[in-house]
Every structure is written in C-alpha cells, then in structure tokens.
C-alpha cells in the first residue's frame, strides 16, 4: 500500500549482456549491473521500501555479493546517487555546444537536461525525489550536484549579460535567485513532461528558455516588478 509502483516486472533486467546466471564476470561489470538494478529499484520504490532482496534479484546475483561489492544499503544508495548525478551533469555539459553564444549554450544545455531526465526516469527519480527525501547522508550528494548546476547556470547568465551589454553589474543574490528559480522550474517541467507524454523534451526546454530569457532580460534592464509597479508588463 502506498509504496512503489510497478508490480509488473516487464522491464529488462539488463541481462541483455548475454550473461548466464552464475557466470563469472569481471568485477566492474557486476558492479554496474548492481548499480543499474539499484537505481531502478530505488527510483521506483523509494529508499526505505526498496529491499536488498529485490535489488539482488533484479541484478541477477546473490545478496552477499551485493554486500561484498557495495558494503551496505546506505553505501549502495550513495553510489547510485553519485553515479547518476555525475551522469546527469556530464550529459548537460556534453550537450552544451561550445561555439555558441551564451543563450545558445543555455538552450542546448536545457535540451540535454530534459532529454536525459526523460530517458532515465528512474535515475531522475532517485536524484530528484528519493535522495532529497531521506536524511543527511544523501541529500548532501544531491546538493553538491545541484550547486554544480546552479553554478554552471550562473556562469552562463553572467556570460549572457556580458554579451548583451558589456558589464552590467548584476547583484549576486538576484542571479542566485534566478538560477534557483530556473532549476526549480526545470524540475517541475521535467515532471510535467514525464507525465503528459504529449509534451516533449524540446517543448519543455522551449518553455523554460522563454522563461529564463525573459527573467534575464528584466534583470539586466533593471526592470523589476514592485508593489508599486502597476499592471502593463
């Protein structure tokens, strides 16, 4: 009740590598299989509801082996988070096309972000939902990633400002606020895009880009809303 999602185990156990159960395999491969299984399980069931039994079974190995390689449930979860965080950051970095203007880069980065999260929903669930829902050891890992992304976006914002005007000084707090809002909006839109299949990653990216663009423009123009500002935006 109330836990997990998928009773139907029609998903691939990634046994597609042609491995027969019990086959000796190099440690690295086994470890990857375990992490894959763990990400799926944690992503769908949540940290507490995921059982080492299910993870081991999904990975096609025995439980003691999981412990041998990954020590404990906590360590395993941390490893998942770390791996997926790096993968996401890498996907975004690699998606950014370097030759473009700052806004072009932002755009390509956003597309990469939405594409990656759409293609790895379990990983996204681990990072966005599960890791942040459980106490300190895990939340920190995600915070690090989030900060990395926020920093990256901040850089792009500064660059865009530079390109546009030369050196308009932007207040640091404003920029951070914008970045926080952008990332939050992105996360929300990622969820929206995952639910309503009709919305593609590209559309989500476009929506967000518009949003960011407008916010940035206002910021640079110093055109800020205040209680005294009246209508007519």
Partner DNA sequence: GATGAATGAGGCTTCATTCAT
Partner DNA sequence: GATGAATGAAGCCTCATTCAT
Cα→Cα distances 155→126, 128, 145, 170, 221, Å: 27, 23, 15, 12, 19
Cα dihedral 101, 106, 111, 112 sign: positive
Which of 12, 24, 198, 232 forms a contact with DNA (CB under 7 A)? 24
Measured in degrees and rounded to the nearest 5, phi and psi for residue 101 equal: -70, 165
**Binding residues for DNA restricted to 25-84, rule: CB under 7 A:** 25-27, 30, 48, 50-53, 61-65, 67-68, 71-74
156 binds, among DNA, a second copy, none (CB under 5 to 8 A by kind): none
**DSSP for residue 228:** T
To a second copy, the closest distance from the beta carbon of 202 in angstroms equals 10
- Decide if residue 23 touches DNA (CB under 7 A): yes
Cβ-based nearer residue to a second copy, 59 or 216: 216
Instruction: From 75, 80, 61, 63, select the one nearest 13 (Cα to Cα).
Output: 61
What does 207 bind: DNA, a second copy, none (CB cut-off 5 to 8 Å by kind)?
a second copy
150 φ, ψ (degrees, to nearest 5):
-60, -45
The size of the interface with DNA (CB under 7 A), counted in residues, is 24
User: Considering CB distances under 5 to 8 angstroms, the limit depending on partner class, which of DNA, a second copy, none binds residue 94?
Assistant: none
Using an 8 Å Cβ cutoff, are 92 and 109 in contact? Answer: yes
- By CB under 7 A, name the binding residues for DNA: 21-27, 30, 48, 50-53, 61-65, 67-68, 71-74
């Amino acid at each position: 009740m109330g836990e997990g999602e998928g009773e139907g185990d029609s998903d691939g156990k990634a046994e597609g590598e042609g491995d027969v159960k019990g086959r000796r395999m190099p440690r690295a491969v086994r470890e990857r299989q375990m992490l894959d299984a763990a990400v799926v399980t944690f992503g769908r069931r949540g940290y507490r509801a995921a059982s080492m039994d299910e993870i081991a079974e999904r990975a096609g190995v025995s439980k003691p082996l999981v412990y041998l390689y990954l020590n404990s449930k906590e360590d395993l979860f941390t490893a998942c988070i770390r791996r997926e965080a790096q993968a996401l950051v890498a996907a975004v970095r690699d998606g950014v096309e370097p030759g473009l203007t700052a806004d072009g880069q932002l755009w390509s980065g956003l597309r990469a972000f939405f594409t990656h999260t759409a293609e790895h929903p379990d990983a996204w669930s681990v990072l966005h939902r599960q890791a942040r829902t459980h106490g300190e050891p895990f939340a920190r890992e995600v915070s690090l990633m989030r900060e990395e992304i926020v920093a990256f976006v901040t850089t792009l914002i500064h660059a865009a400002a530079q390109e546009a005007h030369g050196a308009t000084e932007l207040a640091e707090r404003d920029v951070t606020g914008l970045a926080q809002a952008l990332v939050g909006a992105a996360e929300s839109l990622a969820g929206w895009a995952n639910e309503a299949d009709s919305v593609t990653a590209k559309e989500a990216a476009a929506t967000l880009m518009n949003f960011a663009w407008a916010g940035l423009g206002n910021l640079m123009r110093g055109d800020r809303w205040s209680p005294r500002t009246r209508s007519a935006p």
